[in-house]
């Protein structure tokens, strides 16, 4: 065990954990953040995706020591049910969630896409979402939700 300093959802956290522990387990078990999910454990499905310093990262294969002192954002860091992030609100408005298991990965990947490409093309959205394994069949609504969020998020960026 060792002291590991993390910055999760804008809050500094120091934990006494094995530094080789996958970030996913630290987030879920130690910090009780349930947005990132265990899917495959092999970085193939994307259910465990978090944002680390602006990049989508598969937390199931990321040793916690490699993200020490970096900015980590989980689904809980985007918004809440009472105050959803515009991306989350777009998914609600488009009813883009079916089973919801992959939604963490989809939302986190979409956030990274929209941060880098505020007005993505349909092909860019599809390419960016391709690495996330989703079998529920709401893909057209997912794409529409991302497009909606892109238009919703633009004014906020322009004011900044």
Tens-digit pLDDT profile for residues 80-91: 999 999 999 999
Measured at the alpha carbon of residue 121, what is the angle toward residues 140 and 119, in degrees to the nearest 5? 110
What pLDDT score was predicted for residue 100? 82
Q: What is the dihedral of CA 144, 145, 148, 153, to 10 degrees?
A: -150
List the strands of the sheet with 11-17, edge to edge. 11-17, 2-8, 71-73, 49-52, 55-58
The pTM for the full model equals: 0.92
Q: Decide if pLDDT at 156 tops 80.
A: no
* CA–CA dist 145, 26 (Å, integer): 30
Paired with 56 in beta bridges are 51
Q: Decide if pLDDT at 160 tops 80.
A: no
């Amino acid at each position: 065990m060792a002291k590991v300093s993390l910055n999760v959802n804008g809050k500094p956290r120091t934990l006494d954990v094995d530094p080789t522990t996958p970030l996913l387990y630290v987030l879920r078990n130690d910090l009780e953040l349930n947005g990132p999910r265990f899917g495959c454990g092999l970085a193939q499905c994307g259910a465990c995706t978090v944002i680390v310093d602006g990049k989508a990262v598969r937390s199931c294969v990321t040793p916690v020591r490699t993200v020490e002192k970096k900015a980590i954002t989980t689904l809980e860091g985007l918004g809440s049910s009472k105050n959803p992030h515009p991306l989350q609100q777009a998914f609600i408005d488009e009813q883009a969630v079916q089973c919801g298991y992959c939604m963490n990965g989809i939302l986190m990947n979409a956030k990274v896409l929209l941060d880098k490409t505020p007005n993505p093309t349909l092909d860019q959205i599809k390419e960016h979402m391709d690495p996330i394994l989703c079998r529920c069949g709401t893909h057209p609504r997912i794409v529409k939700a991302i497009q909606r969020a892109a238009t919703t998020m633009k004014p906020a960026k322009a004011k900044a």
